[in-house]
Amino acid sequence: MDQNTLKKLFDDLSYIRTGGSLQELDAANYLKTYLEGKGLKAKLESFKVPDATIKSAKLFADGEQIPCLGYRLAKDSPEEGLTAPFYYLANWDEASLAKARGKIVLFIGFLNRFRYEDLVKHGAVGFIGNNGNLVENNEDIDDKELRPYVSKDLELLVGVNVNIKTAMELVNKAPKEVTLFLKQDRCTLTSHNVVTKIKGESDEEIVISAHYDSVPLSRGVYDNLSGSLGILAILERFLNTRPHYTLTFLWCGSEERGLLGSKAYVEKHAKKLDKIRLCINLDMIGTSLGYALMVGTCDIKLVHFVEYLALMHAYPLKALQGVYSSDSTPFADEGIPALSLARIAPQDDLIIHNRYDDFKYMSLDKMMEDIEFAYTLTKAMANASCLPVKRFIPDNMKEELDYYNCRKRRP
């Protein structure tokens, strides 16, 4: 794949592609058609995604209406709204949480399972989340959801989302009470994974993955159209070849909604997972600035191998052992060694999950460098007479997976 083709693919697919939307399906069909044009058999594997359409969402602070969006899949408010004292939760320690009872709580940061559990346990009646960065010239409000695995088996709370600048204004004004209104129609959407294979001499597999969906505010060029086109370019290098190991190329849907596509894939193919020896994942590559990073949820020996391979090919790379929040993680959670390649942009939080994620931050030259190394790594593994990677996850990485998946709290 040359740079002109790569740029055309970027142009064709640079639009909002949220998990379960018709736009995501359009992108899936585009990828499928492209693969079939290369003579490959490709299929869409569907899975269900819970969702909701917000009918109305309002936030009032001491009677003044504040811009907000409703948290999809949170609890609907009473008709008269939910009114309670306002409380800014600055930290998630016990002393701070003890003051949350009976209040509508404003928090900063990501709402994971344990944080939500703490809100419920300590008697909060509602919550106000936020998005953005204080140095952005951007007052967009993200369309967020209370993910079902976050709230599973717990009481639902009424919730809305605001821009972080609005959150700061609320904290500064310190209203005595706030009122939340939230009404929504719950539904179930269908998302899709795109899958194709290049058959090898062995029926044992290496999975090469990337997610192709975006968040609601973003066209998702860097995150992660870059990785999706990256694995497409790698695939083309293997056309008309027969590697030793079978290569499964997987474009995951609904990653931005909680790795749902890769979770659905490992669930659907549970009986065949013992054939998968390795997962190589690309998520956010090809930016003009930044540094290349490979995170391995695997034996440290594999991390060192990747470091040495990068040195051999003069590819500047930082490699470390850890858990990368992407579609490699559900494979690692099933005992499959997993690697994720990224090019981490400076202040990357400013150009992902918002309107700024567009092509102006990308470099086709850097894309080709990242693709070339990812291909070199994949080729080394795919054509190994005996794959040196042991199919196991060491205990320290199992513990990190427990932390990541909120099965265990960090001390």
Residue 348: predicted pLDDT:
72
Q: Domain ranges in the chain?
A: 3-48+190-404, 56-185
Q: Domain 3-48+190-404: give its CATH architecture.
A: 3-Layer(aba) Sandwich (3.40)
Q: Which CATH class is domain 56-185?
A: alpha beta
Task: Identify the CA nearest to 393 among candidates 404, 382, 384.
Answer: 404
Cα torsion 58, 61, 63, 66 to 10°: value is -40
At residue 400, φ and ψ (nearest 5 deg) are -65, -35
**How many angstroms separate the CA atoms of 340 and 209, rounded?**
9
Residue 115: predicted pLDDT:
97
How far CA 403 is from CA of 114, 398, 399, in Å, comes to 10, 9, 6
Task: Identify the CA nearest to 331 among candidates 206, 235, 244.
Answer: 206
Say what the pTM is. 0.96
Question: Identical fold at 3-48+190-404 and 56-185?
Answer: no
**How many angstroms separate the CA atoms of 200 and 262, rounded?**
22
Cα torsion 118, 121, 123, 127 to 10°: value is 30
Residue 136: predicted pLDDT:
79
Say if residues 391 and 385 touch (Cβ distance below 8 Å): no
Say if residues 159 and 143 touch (Cβ distance below 8 Å): no
**How many angstroms separate the CA atoms of 50 and 147, rounded?**
9
At residue 238, φ and ψ (nearest 5 deg) are -100, 0
Cβ-count burial of 99 within 10 angstroms (0-12 exposed, 13-18 middle, 19+ buried)? middle
The residues of the chain scoring below 50 in pLDDT are none
Task: Identify the CA nearest to 299 among candidates 188, 191, 387, 200.
Answer: 387
